[in-house]
Structure 1
């Protein structure tokens, strides 16, 4: 599988780097390809290192203004002119999408992917990887949106919330 992952490029604590490392090992050992933002810094680097060390393939999708931070050792690196095209290219190249911990950029990517799925513009599985309870608040908000009729399809068809990488990968393998 080509698994697209949205996540932070920040240097983060072990409560977030260890789940990224574990998920990367699972992806690589399973022979999967990581499709990610292409950065060789922070959590993006931790994930890419783990995938590559476990034998997986790396396809980066960077953006012109971040090209200096792109991973030189990726199997493939695509550079887009702006963030909108970067998101579109990540979606195009991925069989499934996983949202890991991140800031406003990751949240933007997650909500756009969910919005596109909600409108039937893609049917790819989407997983929120809820490391250290990071997405507890977002999960609560999504459940409220579902319960109060803001979503045109059941939340269970829109996104799956996984507590760890093994759970996320098992779900994706069931879906594809």
Structure 2
């Protein structure tokens, strides 16, 4: 399975790094590939290192203005002209999506993927990995959107909130197996 991971390229606290590393190792050990933003910095590097060292493949999609940060040694690296093309390529190459901790770029990617899913533009499973409660506020906001009628589909059909990488991976493997 090609698992697209949206996450930060920033260097982060160990409360985010250690669970990410464990998740990355599980992806590689289970024979899955990481589809990611291609950066060799921050949490993106942690994920790429863990997947690659555990036997998984790396499929990077960078963007021209960040190409200087792209990881050498990925199995494949695509460089797009802009962020919109990058997001489209990431989605096209993925069987499933995991949103990890991140900033505005990660949030932008998450909301676009969810909006496309909401409108039936893709049916790939989406997981928000809620490491250390990072997405508690966003989860509450989504629950409010659902309760007040802003979501035309049930929240549970839109996104799965996982507290750790093991739960995220179990959900994705089950969803992708059911879709086949």
What TM-score do the two structures reach when normalised by structure 2?
0.97
Task: Detail structure 1 runs of 4+ shifted over 6 Å in the superposition.
Answer: none
1:168 equivalent in structure 2: 168
1:42 equivalent in structure 2: 42
Give the 3-state SS of the residue equivalent to 1:12 in structure 2: coil
1:102-128 CA-partner distances (Å, limit 9, x unpaired): 000000000000000000100100000
1:115 equivalent in structure 2: 115
Give the drift of 1:34. 0.2
Q: Distance in 2 between matches of 1:52 and 1:66?
A: 21
- The answer to whether 1:92 aligns with 2:92 is yes
1:131-158 CA-partner distances (Å, limit 9, x unpaired): 0000000000001001111001000000
Give the drift of 1:19. 1.1
Count how many residue pairs are aligned between Structure 1 and Structure 2: 176
- The answer to whether 1:55 aligns with 2:44 is no
**TM-align CA RMSD:** 0.4
1:6 equivalent in structure 2: 6
Q: Distance in 2 between matches of 1:175 and 1:55?
A: 23
1:50-84 CA-partner distances (Å, limit 9, x unpaired): 00010000000000000000000100000000000
1:144 equivalent in structure 2: 144
Q: Distance in 1 between matches of 2:147 and 2:85?
A: 33
Q: Which runs of 5+ in 1 are unaligned?
A: none
Q: Which runs of 5+ in 2 are unaligned?
A: none
Give the 3-state SS of the residue equivalent to 1:15 in structure 2: helix
What TM-score do the two structures reach when normalised by structure 1?
0.99
Give the 3-state SS of the residue equivalent to 1:120 in structure 2: coil
